[in-house]
Each structure stands twice: as structure tokens, then as C-alpha cells.
Structure 1
Amino acid sequence: MNVSTVTGTTQNQTSAAAPQTVDYQSFLKLLVAEMKNQDPTSPMESTDYVAQLASFSQVEQSVQINDKLEQILAAASLSQASGLVGREITSSDGTVTGTVSEVKLYSDGVVATLESGQEVIVGPGVVIR
């Protein structure tokens, strides 16, 4: 019997494009399917189901806490960044100095645009007056 090989490139591309999330409905469907397909000679204990539900609940709460923390950090960064407008800034190497006209907030940091059009990455060693 000849069996051809199967590559997982299509599946990997699909899963990379659409991250999977699990919610309570998915968990309950999985739990019902698990109950339907369990071995009747040795069924799962009800405490095992409760433990699974508690574990899932903890994971979901952790995800929600992380989302809220990201929102708080973004708000704090925006608040700090808005305080730079109108102030004088000098780059960490001392080559660029000027008054900040606008601030751009990115996921990995803050970039201050000066009135001259130059941009300064706000980070360690930057002097703000």
C-alpha cells in the first residue's frame, strides 16, 4: 500500500493567520463531548470536571487581567507622552536639540517630533527641559 506524504504548510499558514481563542461556550462543548465519549467502565469523577472548569476560569481571568494591564500601560504612556509637547528635548547622544511639536506613541516606545521636523526616540539618556 502506497501512502503519500502530507505537508503541513497550508495548515500552518491558516493557524498562523487566525489565532485560536477559547471561551466558555467552547469549553462547555468540549466538556460535553468529553462526557459523551468517556469510557463507561471508568467514568470521570465529578471533581475532575470541577477542577477543569476552575483551571479554565483561572486562565481566562489571567487573560482578562493582562488585557486590562495593557490598557492601563497604554493610557499611562499616552499621558506621559502628551506632557512632552512644548518642552525642549535633547537626544541621548546630544546631536539633536529642539522643541517638541508632536509625540508619536508606538508599541515599543515614544518618538518625539521636533518643530524642525527631526525625530528623537524618547529613551534612556534623553534630556527633557
Structure 2
Amino acid sequence: MTEVTSTTSSTYAAAAQSTATASMAKANVDYESFLRLLVAELKNQDPTEPVDSTEYIAQLASFSSVEQSIQTNAKLDDLIQMGYLQQAGSIIGRTLTSPDGDVTGVIDEVRVFDDGIVAVLEGGEQVVVSGGVTIS
């Protein structure tokens, strides 16, 4: 069972893409900020008291950890997208009914977004596929 909430326009798609873009931009800003901070620290260190090699290695390890986290998040996003695509392909041609019974129809096409899928029924109605809807 899958729930559907009806939508009246394509604002859902725009909001989904806007949210994904904002979160990726934030990750890149954090990553870029970390790099700038590390380079500035190395440039401005006191030549008479350079950074201890242990501290330097710890900073490099932190840098590596941040980079790996960003790459892991990107891979997880790809896996989630693949799951949405698999779900989308399996519901085309099936009948969809909303939990309240107001929206019913055969799924003609499915649109995949970063945070979910939207089913387009034969009558042109667009519904977000989420918990509580019946697909038969």
C-alpha cells in the first residue's frame, strides 16, 4: 500500500529540486570553507612556531573525513534515486486510489524527483505517491 496526496500544479517538482540544490550547495560551501580555513592557517602560521606535525596530520585527517562524508552522501542520494526509479516503473498501468477515495485512476506516467515520485493519472491528475495510498 502506498499513500497519494493530490497536487494541483507542478510546484511540488520545483520545491523538490530547490531543496536538493540548496542542500548540495550547503555541503559544497562547508567543504570550500574548510579548505579555505586550512590554507589560511598554513599561510599565516608563525614561522618561529610552525604547526606541530601531529596537529597537521590531525587536520589532514579531518579534511579527508569531510571529503569522504560528502562523497558518501552523494552515493546515498544516487541509491535513493534508483529506488524511486524502480518503484516508478512498477506502478505504471496500475490503478491508484487515495486514502480518502477522492482520487482514483490508472497511472499513465510517473515523474521522479529527488525526494519522491509523482504519478500522473490518465485523466491528467497528478498525485504524490506516499504512505496510505492504494495501488492495485
Q: Deviations over 1:23-74 (max 9, x none)?
A: 9xx56x81xx544532234332111110000010001000000000001100
Structure 2 residue corresponding to 1:117, chosen from 115, 121, 124:
124
Distance 1:100 1:45, change over 3 A: same
**Structure-1-length-normalised TM-score:** 0.72
Aligned-partner residue type, residue 83 of structure 1: S
Structure 2 residue corresponding to 1:79, chosen from 44, 66, 86:
86
Q: Which runs of 5+ in 2 are unaligned?
A: 1-24
- Count of residue pairs brought into register by the alignment: 109
Q: Indicate yes or no: 2:2 matched with 1:22.
A: no
Aligned to 2:58: 51
Q: Which has the larger radius of gyration?
A: 1
| CA displacement at 1:100 relative to structure 2 | 0.5
Aligned to 1:12: none
Aligned to 1:62: 69
Distance 1:108 1:35, change over 3 A: closer
**Structure-2-length-normalised TM-score:** 0.69
Question: What is the distance in 2 between the residues matched to 1:117 and 1:55?
Answer: 51
Larger RCO (CA within 8 A; separation ≥ 6): 2
RMSD: 2.7
1:91·1:121 contact (CA, 8 Å) conserved in 2?
Answer: no
% same residue? 50
Higher helix proportion (structure 1 or 2): 2
Distance 1:35 1:108, change over 3 A: closer
Distance 1:52 1:87, change over 3 A: same
More deviation, 111-120/83-92: 111-120
